[in-house]
Structure 1
């Protein structure tokens, strides 16, 4: 990707903030964000920051996810990137840091408020290049509670229930599943959840060590189930972009849709009356249903910024309790161990769903980072029957990188 040669923070964070300079004149930080559907909620958090830090203004630009990477790549190459920009935790963040695009944040911020998994995810090769200021997510299966009530059905928990329900819904003229599949991202999340049901966290660790393979029969069964799910998706799913698919899902054009905890805000923006529930994605065979969990984009500081101190002040505030309570109450799951959602039923359901079985997303880890992109490139061929589940699994296994 890269080519260039709170109410109060914890005591140590307060000390760190006190060491940063006061801003006698206004400083404006530019920030790119890839969730336009969060605009009002994200801006409310930035307004709270500016109220507590009147010398710093955040100029937020919202860029749709489908355009974000291309815009950012171009801006970085041209030396015109914003002061603050987000990237997925994992290989892309490490590449940005190693290419010199991002400031090394190691030791410059107090990260003690982070839960263990996010804290682990932001450290790569001993360095911290970015921090998760806008939360984490879990991915499961959304369903329209009103549609299920009208049909007299309950959400499926395993492969047989799902495929049987799919057939029954289609017989009654109901589209079972909305999947925006044009770029392969949502189908790849579906595959991750299916593998999570087979592997669990222990099995995933074994796969990363080379002790399990995607070509093992029980994991080929996950690819086989994914191929079968294609029959349950809306017509034209393979040409449906994310924004259009999200609108179809929010407006009840299908009974279910795979989605993350951060998607709910967008569904509400499209349809304030939407009545959704969340369950883990049905398990392969008799395996328990599962979810996957990862970080929303982590935020990096442009190495060319003229306002490094202001950027650090902003990131430290965003890691604090005030900001993270706003994140978890209005947008998605927080990465902070100090806050919990207050009256957010959807996030509570995601927490419950993740207890059935949960696994980290492929792209945040060096061994499986390449698997993510290979899955995206091949899900359409799997749905179309152009490759077999065995061939799909073999392509993914070839992309695994096992440390020597």
Structure 2
């Protein structure tokens, strides 16, 4: 009788579990900062739900310009979602120290990630996040049709860039679209220019205090940044990111700095867009460069009522099925061995990064504040209110060399 009773209870339990799974008994809320990716991201989440019928993901897309402020407010109020993205590096460390994140050390298998992917979410011997939405590389996009029509070749050096700029302006074509309102895209421009001079080895020297932004060759990078301002669209300093991206996608300029993840957004705006991508032209004497970093890495809210299901989601997202969808439809993958199936532009971006690719400044503690310093000062540099030497000095003040 006891055996039959236990069997009956077990069967009832399994039936309830199955019924709950079919009903989607667990819903995880997730905030993502790329509205232009919504359909592509949702397709990946749909595939997860198909493979895990007991878990639903409720995705909310928040524009990048509003994301950080809204998330900080929600975290402070105890109203943040189950899953949310943060920039890799110091912000993850700060959120963990504040008690906002679930400790994932030993809870997830990270062995399938690339070295860069693992490094981005490791703080000492602790893990608090997963790089589920891939990585990005930033280079120079150009409209292939415009360059072909004008008989031009994408530039690879500073002098070639300025010559192309002059030619396009003479022909009534805006050479470069840069949404510069918040200083973010111009700061990426400077990172690529500085990286063309330093390379990865020089960047390590900068972090160690053996190199400085005030070195003459790096001041030359700041000078190049100032010099290209006249190549940008009218009103660049008042152009927000979303508007600039639309201008770029619609061919209102011949070139635009952008990341691998931007291509999906360009296609959403203009499905017929015909782009190529190259490293950003080198400061004279340097090497054309790209910079690479993580898309926001995802953490689990320490107050989530469903941490195990959230871990299940993060683990699935690091697998090859999800990673293949990410690289084919959105951006580069951080899962080993996953490459684009047919995405020519993403393949070109990967090729562009082969010769001289440097990690983005803001992901590492020694240079974490440099990006913000560039944002705050690039407008004054463009307007001639400060010199390239003064710009470089302000960036150097933000460096915290290792061991200092």
TM-score after normalising by structure 2: 0.94
Residue 231 (structure 1) aligned with residue 268 (structure 2): no
* Structure 1 moving runs of 4+ over 2 Å: 21-25
| Aligned mates of 1:186, 1:117 — CA distance in 2 | 23
Alpha-carbon distance, 1:403 to partner? 2.7
Could you tell me which residue of structure 2 aligns to residue 267 of structure 1?
266
- Report the secondary structure of 1:201's partner residue: helix
Residue 380 (structure 1) aligned with residue 376 (structure 2): no
**Does structure 1 retain, via aligned residues, the 8 Å contact 2:219–2:388?**
yes
**Does structure 2 retain, via aligned residues, the 8 Å contact 1:159–1:286?**
no
What is the RMSD computed on CA atoms of the aligned residues?
1.1
Alpha-carbon distance, 1:286 to partner? 2.9
| Aligned mates of 1:87, 1:359 — CA distance in 2 | 21
Alpha-carbon distance, 1:113 to partner? 0.8
| Aligned mates of 1:222, 1:143 — CA distance in 2 | 21
| Aligned mates of 2:210, 2:402 — CA distance in 1 | 12
| Aligned mates of 2:150, 2:338 — CA distance in 1 | 38
Could you tell me which residue of structure 2 aligns to residue 97 of structure 1?
96
Could you tell me which residue of structure 1 aligns to residue 294 of structure 2?
295
| Aligned mates of 2:363, 2:125 — CA distance in 1 | 15
Trace 1:122-161 onto structure 2 (pairs within 5 A): 122-161=121-160
Alpha-carbon distance, 1:104 to partner? 1.2
- Report the secondary structure of 2:293's partner residue: strand
| Aligned mates of 1:131, 1:378 — CA distance in 2 | 33
What is the count of residue pairs matched by the alignment?
384
Alpha-carbon distance, 1:126 to partner? 2.4
| Aligned mates of 2:50, 2:337 — CA distance in 1 | 22
| Aligned mates of 1:272, 1:189 — CA distance in 2 | 26
**Does structure 1 retain, via aligned residues, the 8 Å contact 2:197–2:285?**
no
| Aligned mates of 2:146, 2:128 — CA distance in 1 | 44
Could you tell me which residue of structure 1 aligns to residue 176 of structure 2?
177
Could you tell me which residue of structure 2 aligns to residue 77 of structure 1?
76
Per-residue CA deviations over 1:62-117 (Å, capped at 9, x if unaligned) read: 00111111111111111100000001001111111110011111111000111111
Could you tell me which residue of structure 1 aligns to residue 368 of structure 2?
369
**Does structure 1 retain, via aligned residues, the 8 Å contact 2:209–2:402?**
no
Residue 391 (structure 1) aligned with residue 390 (structure 2): yes
- Report the secondary structure of 2:41's partner residue: helix
Alpha-carbon distance, 1:165 to partner? 1.0
- Report the secondary structure of 2:28's partner residue: strand
**Does structure 1 retain, via aligned residues, the 8 Å contact 2:85–2:296?**
yes
Alpha-carbon distance, 1:381 to partner? 0.6
- Report the secondary structure of 1:269's partner residue: helix
| Aligned mates of 1:161, 1:391 — CA distance in 2 | 26
TM-score after normalising by structure 1: 0.94
| Aligned mates of 1:338, 1:155 — CA distance in 2 | 30
Alpha-carbon distance, 1:281 to partner? 0.3
Could you tell me which residue of structure 2 aligns to residue 207 of structure 1?
206
Alpha-carbon distance, 1:43 to partner? 0.4
Trace 1:279-294 onto structure 2 (pairs within 5 A): 279-294=278-293
Could you tell me which residue of structure 2 aligns to residue 115 of structure 1?
114
**Does structure 2 retain, via aligned residues, the 8 Å contact 1:291–1:358?**
yes
Say which one has the larger Rg.
Answer: 2
Could you tell me which residue of structure 1 aligns to residue 219 of structure 2?
220
Could you tell me which residue of structure 2 aligns to residue 402 of structure 1?
401
| Aligned mates of 1:52, 1:63 — CA distance in 2 | 26
Trace 1:334-345 onto structure 2 (pairs within 5 A): 334-345=333-344
Unaligned runs of 5+ in 1: 1-20
| Aligned mates of 2:246, 2:69 — CA distance in 1 | 23
| Aligned mates of 1:128, 1:402 — CA distance in 2 | 24
Could you tell me which residue of structure 2 aligns to residue 6 of structure 1?
none
Could you tell me which residue of structure 2 aligns to residue 17 of structure 1?
none
Alpha-carbon distance, 1:338 to partner? 2.8
